Amino acid sequence: MKFGGTSVESASALERVASIVKARLDRQPVVVVSAMGKTTNRLLEIATAAAEGKQNEALKLLSDLKEYHRREATPVIKSDDAAELEQILTDHFGELQDYVAQIAEVEEFSPRLVDSVSSLGERISSRILTLVFRHFGIDAVHLDARHVIVTDSRHTQASPLLKKTYARLAQTIPPLVAKHVVVMGGFIGSAEDGATTTLGRGGSDFTASIVGAGIHAEEIQIWTDVDGMLTCDPRIVAGGRRVKTISFAEAAELAYFGAKVLHPATVHPAIEKNIPVLILNSRRPEVEGTRIVSTSVPCRNVIKSIAAKPNITVVKVQSLRMLMAHGFLRRIFEVFDRYPTPVDIVTTSEVSVSLTIDNPRYLTEICEELRAIAEVSVEKQMAIVCVVGDSIQDTPGIAGRVFRALGDINVRMISQGASQLNLSFVVAENDMKPAMQALHEEFFRDLDPEVFD
């Protein structure tokens, strides 16, 4: 059972989580928890202020964050545990204060320190939730995720070493869960040299999936603040409907192309071990949510959901010199490999390649190298819109319906065929919302009641 930041952001939210877990004690739950509320953002803000020489501002923010945790935790723990809560806060915020001093001294926020700082949110929330559970009559024990999640040393984006991680999980958790509810922080792990690492933003979902796979869980539950996967993002288009059941393959496409309800890496360990994943709402635990399964889900609607990914940059590489030349694509992608930058969509012609990236950190360096072999142009403030359904490729006329629905919205790139499950295209960011609305009206007028609610 993984609970996200909004599920543990306040005293009342913590109490709801205790109630949800208590109702499922017979299933021997293992609980993975995110940092409380927006704590990770606030931790990074503190460290950034220190790196900019604003140490007093950093210490004020630190004090406010410590008080937030104390204020929300105190009403939902036993009075006998108040001293332990204070010790938890003293230890962890004392550690943060040391990091602030280190960062202020060198005026640099290194990736290793980023991990040390950002890990504190989950380390604190998991300790607090353990105390909350005890208050509500749940026999809980805390497990430091860094003892069982083994990763490489790629700070801020560490990859788990699954064989070693699964071995540690299988050895550690089953004896504990036989008698206790195990509580651990998501998002964090440790490299083989013992250094604290993180799995990237949103990595608590990934942790839950890894833990579930490592202990051969019956299912992996992702508790969030929405009723499940919807036909569209409600923050972009109103009127989205809950998808009751969806395949792993469809869920992975949606997660990668912008569905915020699930981290893209989550499904991989679950697929490997064939463990169902449920998306549930901690504010409305009575709702059945979305069940993600390995098999294709028959549906009258060819489209299951529409996702969108804003803040996209399109890079166009063109060179007449490369007409019929061998190795043009290889040379382009070697540049992106040297500056670790994932590419989402690629379209090619004989002399040009257009591709999209969502992380422009190395954009200047990438373009500089590419200009040695071709002309390069860049378009920013773009968005990817993606329609997903596992029978898209086998259903005639889908592309026609998509582009008729878009009307006069200008489409910059189109991609279909690499995956049998999606049709993706790029529009200006300002056109993302109207495109989503038009597609939702086109494909979700009449819903299959077996799949949608």
Per the structure, the complete domain to which residue 185 belongs is given by 2-218
Query: What pLDDT is stored for residue 222 in this prediction?
Result: 96
Per-residue pLDDT, 85: 98
In a domain, 276, yes or no: no
Tally of domains in the chain: 2
Cα separation, 39 vs 116, whole angstroms: 14
Walking along the chain (453 residues) 10 residues at a time, the average pLDDT comes out as 97 98 98 97 96 94 98 97 98 97 91 96 98 98 98 95 97 97 98 95 91 97 93 89 93 79 82 94 96 90 93 92 71 93 89 92 95 94 94 87 95 81 94 96 94 94
Domain final residue pick, 218, 247, 266: 218
Tell me whether residue 43 is in a domain: yes
- Token pair of 106 as six digits: 């060198």
pLDDT of residue 324: 53
| DSSP-derived secondary structure letter, 430 | G
CATH number at residue 366: 3.30.2130.10
Residue 235 structure tokens? 């923050």
Output the domain CATH number for residue 65: 3.40.1160.10
Answer with the one of 172, 200, 218 that is the final residue of a domain. Answer: 218
Last residue of a domain, one of 151, 184, 218: 218
8 Å CB contact between 131 and 78: yes
Q: Exposed e or buried b for every residue in 144-163, given b needs 16+ CB within 10 A?
A: ebbebbbbeeebebbebbbe
In this prediction, residue 107 carries a pLDDT of 84
Q: Establish if 223 belongs to a structural domain.
A: no
User: How wide is the angle at C-alpha 288 spanned by C-alphas 285 and 293, nearest 5°?
Assistant: 130
Tell me the pTM.
0.89
35 and 177 inside one domain: yes
Same domain, 311 and 214: no
Specify the pLDDT at position 296. Answer: 85
pLDDT of residue 394: 82
Q: Is 292 domain-assigned?
A: no
> What is the C-alpha separation between 244 and 262, in angstroms, rounded?
15
